Amino acid sequence: MGEHTRQVMYSREEIAARVAELGREISEYYKDKQCVMVGVLNGVIVFYADLLRSMSFCPEVDFVRVKSYGAKDTPDEIVTFTKDVEVDIQGKDLLLVEDIVDSGQTIDFLRRIFLERGPRSVKICALLDKTGRRRVDVPVDFYGFRLEDGFVIGYGLDFAEDYRHLKDIEEIVKF
């Protein structure tokens, strides 16, 4: 992997404080509910673990993995599961946890599929709510940070499967 010019966008201290705050918000919201917390692999792993540890209740946990693909000359993506949830979500409150909501297509696909399975509710939590390239208007109910644009890495976010290990969230400012 070649070197890139990077700068810290959110420090590990800022991330830890915001994740703790999110954990309190989510705990308050779900305090009397039967919550299933579903993480979208792979980028969510670091955020998901920290968020789970910051909560004052214990939700059921599970993960999904999806693959997106499409023609280069069209904005449409086809999204398919490569790993589906294993827990029953019918009648339960579902919290979908993503590392970043960018175009909105993947999380909208998941939200629509899961709504068909009869949960009591579906809410979306994202570490980063990136609005500049949004193609699908999806409700991000809980978010860590909102940004307009930028290519970000670290804290689970990758560039070609590299940089997930970084403790800060950094922006690549020059490739």
Q: pLDDT tens-digit profile of 12-28?
A: 999 999 999 999 999 99
Q: What is the mean pLDDT of residues 83-89?
A: 96
Distance CA 76, CA 69 (A): 9
The domain defined by 5-69+76-174 folds into: Rossmann fold (3.40.50)
C-beta separation of 141 from 122 below 8 A: no
C-beta separation of 175 from 158 below 8 A: no
pTM: 0.92
* Class of residue 168 by CB neighbours under 10 A (exposed 0-12, middle 13-18, buried 19+): middle
Average pLDDT over the chain, rounded to an integer: 93
1 pLDDT more than 90: no
**Per-residue pLDDT, 70:** 60
**Per-residue pLDDT, 50:** 98
| Amino acid present at 96 | L
74 pLDDT more than 70: no
Distance of CA 22 to the CA centre of its chain: 13
Q: Is 102 a catalytic residue?
A: yes
Catalytic pick from 50, 102, 108, 129?
102
**Per-residue pLDDT, 73:** 46
CA triplet 47, 26, 166: central angle to 5 degrees? 15
C-beta separation of 40 from 51 below 8 A: no
